[in-house]
Amino acid sequence: MTRITGILADRAIDALFGEGRLKSEAPLDADQVQPASLDLRLGSRAMRVRASFMPGREHKVADKLERLTLHEIDLEDGAVLETGCVYIVPLMESLDLPQDMSASANPKSSTGRLDIFTRVMVDHAQEFDKIPAGYRGPLYLEISPRTFPVIVRRGSRLSQIRFRVGHSLLSDTELLDLHQAETLVASEVPNVSGGGIALSIDLKGSGPDGLIGYRGKHHTSVIDVDRKAAHDVLDFWEPLYSRGRDELILDPDEFYILVSREAVHVPPLFAAEMTPYDPLVGEFRVHYAGFFDPGFGHASAGGAGSRAVLEVRSHEVPFILEHGQVIGRLVYEHMQERPAGIYGTGLGSSYQAQGLKLSKHFRAG
């Protein structure tokens, strides 16, 4: 059964290419189409710019780049992007969306876990990561490594895009009903408001040492975003332990990898997203990479007990996080149809059945 409204599944994304609604400079990678999204690939050049910018209603991105570019970098053979700098990269994919179809973008999970701040821009945009219905034109990615310098190249995949038709968000009532039927988060009393279901932080720790998370180190070597299991954890991360206090003081301008207390479940007919942090609950930002694919945490896909790994950064002042504190909300959306492949072991998904876990670039153990 196919809904009229909802998030496009993998088969419908493939169809967009067949219809010329999605175009690319090169044939798609075999695993580029995900259950509810498409990975976006970097083009062959990056422009380092003076500052982040928004094109605005009257301008194309290329117009602003003519004025703001400091220098151009060739990505064909790989190049280092330095921390604290802002780069704009034209993407290999472009769009010609139908008038009833919009899109939104988010960093991939591995991108967020490396503290690489990315946002998709389009011509005449007034918002990042939002592509209006009927948009026709190129896509650009703003990249700003925050903690580690990284090596990227043409074809590197740092961001992903979802396509939707009409209204697809579940209301509070629909969310509660779905939770009763499918158990969306492992909580006896779900906290549902504003169309989202709350997640809280786990600061009791796991394992014999009570590991609660990691803090990124400064002045490290570079990370190649396309190499898996290539780096030693302790060269880049400081492990953090509970020490029996069940709390953590977030230092300003430090980057943390933490984990949710609750396991998360996204049934195959739905997709989820972590909403931006709410300043009313504290001066910190949680989870750059917000997409949760259909099947995340689904038992039949090998994902029972999957936690949400959280990228956390404090703003301006130190802030104390306590075990069980609400740190974000998941909003759920209808899929138009069940994807041909759902997130999990069958797709070689990197973070199914995860607990506290760094990105795939680091060697386990």
User: Tokens in use for 360?
Assistant: 């795939």
User: Tokens in use for 3?
Assistant: 């809904």
Give the separation between CA 55 and CA 61, rounded to whole angstroms: 5
Question: Which residue type does 248 have?
Answer: L
Write phi, then psi, for 299 (nearest 5 degrees).
-60, -40
Report the run of H or E that residue 68 belongs to, with start and end. Answer: helix 61-68
Residue position matching structure tokens 């194309």: 60
Give the separation between CA 263 and CA 306, rounded to whole angstroms: 5
316 catalytic per annotation: no
Give the separation between CA 217 and CA 220, rounded to whole angstroms: 7
Of the candidates 194, 8, 195, 171, the one whose C-alpha atom is nearest the C-alpha of residue 102 is: 8
Of the candidates 7, 85, 13, 87, the one whose C-alpha atom is nearest the C-alpha of residue 45 is: 87
Write phi, then psi, for 314 (nearest 5 degrees).
-80, 155
Write phi, then psi, for 303 (nearest 5 degrees).
-115, 15
- Give the active site residue among 142, 273, 333, 337: 142
| CA distances for 124 relative to 41, 64, 160, 264, 348, angstroms | 21, 11, 20, 37, 37
- Determine how β-strand 307-314 pairs with β-strand 284-286: antiparallel
* Rounded (to 5) percent helix, strand, coil in the chain: 10, 40, 45
Residue position matching structure tokens 């549902």: 192
Q: Which residues are tagged catalytic?
A: 142
